Amino acid sequence: MLIKSNMRTLQRGSSVIELPVITFFMVILVLFIVRINQSISQKNQLDNLAYSLTSIVACEQCDNTMLASGSSSSAPTAKVISTELADSLLLVAQRHFNTLIEDSSAEIGLHVEQVVFDPSTQEPRSYDVRAGADCLSTQRLSSLTDLSPIGTTPGFNAGQHAELFQVTLCIKGMSSIAEEFTPLFLLRFSDSYYQSAALLIGRTL
């Protein structure tokens, strides 16, 4: 009887120890799942916003007064992206992720690129401007000039390349559940994960 009583006592003791441990790991698992869902949602928002900002830059029909004139004197000037445009796009991005910025130490940055083609030689010229946190496209637009279609309408755009536009949007300094104890490799992964780029063809072709 004494042995059975001791066994019951040990079982109760082990149960008392196991319950907090199991509860702790369950809480960690739930927080991890919630964090993963938030990350996926924020990444989707980043992708959509990058596309929307690129659409603004590429919209030739819009009354976009924040585009500057090119400096070429040998051919008609083409509209070129400007720092004013980049700053305005950054403001839009910051307002979109306002809650995220206020609740953490995250920063928004963007990299705007444009490739125009000389009307006479069809040689590409690259322009780019950055604003906000350090953000650089993983693949420069100047290396994607083959994506520009060539016009086929005689007397209008035959043989002319269309302009290319790309906007890269970044969220830097996103913290994990561990906050300031986040390992360096996770911070690097986070900076790479929270980066999205969209490329569009100019609408003048």
DSSP string, 97-150: THHHHHHSS-EEEEEEEEEEE-TTT--EEEEEEEEES----SS-GGGGGGGS-B
Q: Dig out the tokens for 24 from the structure.
A: 């702790």
Secondary structure letter of residue 158 according to DSSP: T
pTM of the predicted model, to two decimals? Answer: 0.75
The H-or-E segment that residue 30 falls in is helix 2-58
pLDDT in tens, 5-28: 555 554 555 555 667 778 888 888
What is the average pLDDT score of the chain? 78
Q: What pLDDT shows up at residue 182?
A: 54
Q: What pLDDT, on a 0 to 100 scale, did the predictor assign at position 60?
A: 56
Nearest C-alpha neighbor of 171 from the set 77, 78, 41: 41
State the amino acid at position 38 in one-letter form: Q
Considering only the C-alpha atoms of the chain, give the largest distance between any 2 of them, rounded to a whole number of Å.
105
The pLDDT score that the predictor gives to residue 20 is 76
Percent of the chain residues past pLDDT 70, beyond the cut: 73
Q: Which pLDDT tens digit goes with each residue over 72-84?
A: 444 444 667 889 9
pLDDT one-digit tens code per residue, 138-195 = 999 989 988 888 888 787 777 788 899 999 999 987 765 555 545 555 566 777 888 9
Give 167's strand partners: 112, 198
Tell me the one-letter amino acid at 119. Answer: P
Angle CA 178–180–186, to nearest 5: 65
More reliable by pLDDT, 199 or 118: 199
